[in-house]
Amino acid sequence: MTWARFNLHIPDLRTGANRLSADGIQHSPLLVGLTDEEVGRLLAVAERRSYADSDILVEENTPSDCLFILTGGSVQVERRHSGGVVPLARLAEAGEFFGEMSLIDIMPRSADIRALGATEVLAFPKKSLTTVFTEAPRVQMTLILNISRILSLRLREADERIVELSRQG
């Protein structure tokens, strides 16, 4: 399952934002509705991080402290269960994001995120985002709205998958 199959109108954010294009995130559903200036504020606090194959980017049950946008490579969302690993989703398109629940609730991470090959992300630490949100409340409102839309779509996909599995017996 991939989470990038959304039929959202995503404007081309490359105008005046060459870094977006360079990072491959110009079509991220997380950034829909933000101006170039607002995106620039976010990118100013972003940290570039690189991971090797099988590295854990996010560990289940650890404190949520960062939002990530995939800029290269791919990751697998997985949960540990009965001594094994259950893959939940694969994110492989630049602009897909994860760790967004850290902005919504204060619960620990709900899953591991594992690099599948060499992977590059932009990381947005919660403390840095809080500063941006204080200075530009519209950025926070827009991100939360975009996250809500994507979470709703993911929930609908999960519901469909549950129905599909229940039919299989």
Closest to 3 measured CA to CA, from 166, 164, 151: 151
pLDDT band at 143 (very low <50, low <70, confident <90, very high): very high
Contact 111/88 with Cβ under 8 angstroms? yes
Contact 120/71 with Cβ under 8 angstroms? yes
Query: pLDDT tens across 32-78, in order?
Result: 999 999 999 999 999 999 999 999 999 999 998 899 999 999 999 99
Higher model confidence: residue 105 or residue 120? 120
Amino acid 19: pLDDT? 53
Contact 90/75 with Cβ under 8 angstroms? yes
Higher model confidence: residue 14 or residue 157? 157
Would you state the structure tokens that stand for residue 110, as one six-digit string?
A: 């709900």
Residue 74, classed as helix, strand or coil, is: coil
Query: In terms of CATH, what superfamily is 18-168?
Result: Jelly Rolls (2.60.120.10)
Amino acid residing at 73 = G
Amino acid 23: pLDDT? 66
- CA 31, CA 96: separation in Å to the nearest integer? 10
Burial of 39 (0-12, 13-18, 19+ CB in 10 A): buried
Report which DSSP code applies to 16. Answer: T
- CA 126, CA 129: separation in Å to the nearest integer? 5
Amino acid 15: pLDDT? 39
Alpha helices in 5-136 (DSSP H): 18-23, 36-45, 101-104, 126-135
Amino acid 76: pLDDT? 97
Query: pLDDT tens across 150-160, in order?
Result: 999 989 998 99
pLDDT band at 21 (very low <50, low <70, confident <90, very high): low
Query: Which conformational region is residue 88 in: left (phi greater than 0), alpha (psi within -120 to 50 degrees), or beta?
Result: alpha
- CA 72, CA 117: separation in Å to the nearest integer? 10
Amino acid 16: pLDDT? 37
